[in-house]
Amino acid sequence: MKIKNVKLYKTVYVPEDLPQTPYREVAFVGRSNVGKSSLLNTLANNFKLAKVSSEPGKTRSINFFLVDGKFFLVDLPGYGFAKVPFSEQKRWRDLIESYLKERDTLKRVFLLVDSRVGPTEKDVQMKEWLDFYGIPYTIVATKVDKLKKSERVKLKSKIEKGFGDSNVTVIPFSAKTREGRQEVLKEIKKALES
Ligand code: GDP
């Protein structure tokens, strides 16, 4: 699958503004700093798409990017900021939960996990939400270029162990070497056709 043209379709701050369109979509989620913007840029061949999403004020929103007039890449707000006030965390939860439970057009979520850190408590919670709502997902282990060979060998088992689930699909990914880009694109294609 090739991605040629990406444009920001809508930025959403409150559940009522979620767009109702016929487009199918795949979404990306993970803790802040996990490498989500870098992954999106890599997929879109540096279309400056994540630059848009990291503009002030847009980081706490859901950004819908329309790809080649055909489907959405959905950039969900990063979680795990230590200093975010409780009210903001609640707003984030409400927004994400309304999104996950109401989206018939959502075909797959890519849950990004930092390969050096492994799944955090918030990542586990996110996975539990996805299981609860019956949304298919794939784990993307980011920044694998930073792993030592010995760590690389243990990556899948570390992630399975962290999630307490040996059935997760894991794609090792690096924005630096572009490893995993084709696998993610293939998974997107498959999801959109399902
Ligand atoms: P986001 O907050 O999840 O959007 O994370 P960013 O994409 O902004 O990345 C956070 C930091 O990790 C930045 O300093 C990136 O340069 C770095 N980073 C992201 N992906 C990779 C990767 O694949 N390899 C390496 N070595 N660094 C990465």
Residue 142 Cβ contacting ligand 1 at under 6 Å:
yes
Q: How many helices (H) and strands (E) does the chain have?
A: 7, 7
> What phi and psi, each to the nearest 5 degrees, are found at residue 17?
-90, 0
> What are the domain boundaries of the chain?
6-193
Q: Which pair of tokens denotes residue 121?
A: 């408590």
Q: Confidence band (pLDDT; 50, 70, 90) for 32?
A: confident
| Residue to mutate (ligand 1; options 38, 73, 115, 120; most atoms within 8 A of CB) | 38
The residue whose CA has the least distance to atom 6 of ligand 1 is 35
Residues 69-76: what's their mean pLDDT?
95
Q: Which pair of tokens denotes residue 70?
A: 């055909």
Least confident span in 31-35, 117-121, 128-132: 31-35
Q: Confidence band (pLDDT; 50, 70, 90) for 45?
A: confident
The Å distance, Cα 35 to ligand 1 centre, comes to 4
% residues pLDDT > 90 (the chain) = 73
> What phi and psi, each to the nearest 5 degrees, are found at residue 91?
-60, -40
Q: Write the DSSP assignment of 93-154 as a string of letters.
A: HHHHHHHHHH-TTEEEEEEEEETTT---HHHHHHHHHHHHHT--EEEEEE-GGGS-HHHHHT
Residue 108 Cβ contacting ligand 1 at under 6 Å:
no
Q: Which residue has the higher pLDDT, 21 or 49?
A: 21
Query: Mean pLDDT over all residues of the chain?
Result: 90
Atom of ligand 1 nearest to the CA of 38: 7
Report the run of H or E that residue 21 belongs to, with start and end: none
The residue whose CA has the least distance to atom 27 of ligand 1 is 143
C-alpha angle 133-139-145 in degrees, rounded to nearest 5: 160
CB neighbour class for 80 (10 Å; exposed up to 12, middle 13-18, buried from 19): middle
The residue whose CA has the least distance to atom 21 of ligand 1 is 143
Q: Is the pLDDT assigned to residue 178 strictly greater than 90? A: yes
The Å distance, Cα 103 to ligand 1 centre, comes to 28
Reduced to 3 states (helix: H, G, I; strand: E, B; else coil), residue 3 is coil
Q: Could you give the CA distance from residue 65 to residue 50 in angstroms, rounded to a whole number?
A: 10
Q: Could you give the CA distance from residue 71 to residue 161 in angstroms, rounded to a whole number?
A: 34
**What residues are paired with 26 via a beta bridge?**
73, 108
Q: Which residue has the higher pLDDT, 56 or 97?
A: 97
The domain 6-193 having CATH identifier 1.10.10.60: the answer here is no
Round to the nearest angstrom and report the end-to-end CA distance of the chain.
15
Residue in the block written with tokens 């929103």: 61
pTM of the full predicted structure? 0.94
The residue whose CA has the least distance to atom 24 of ligand 1 is 143
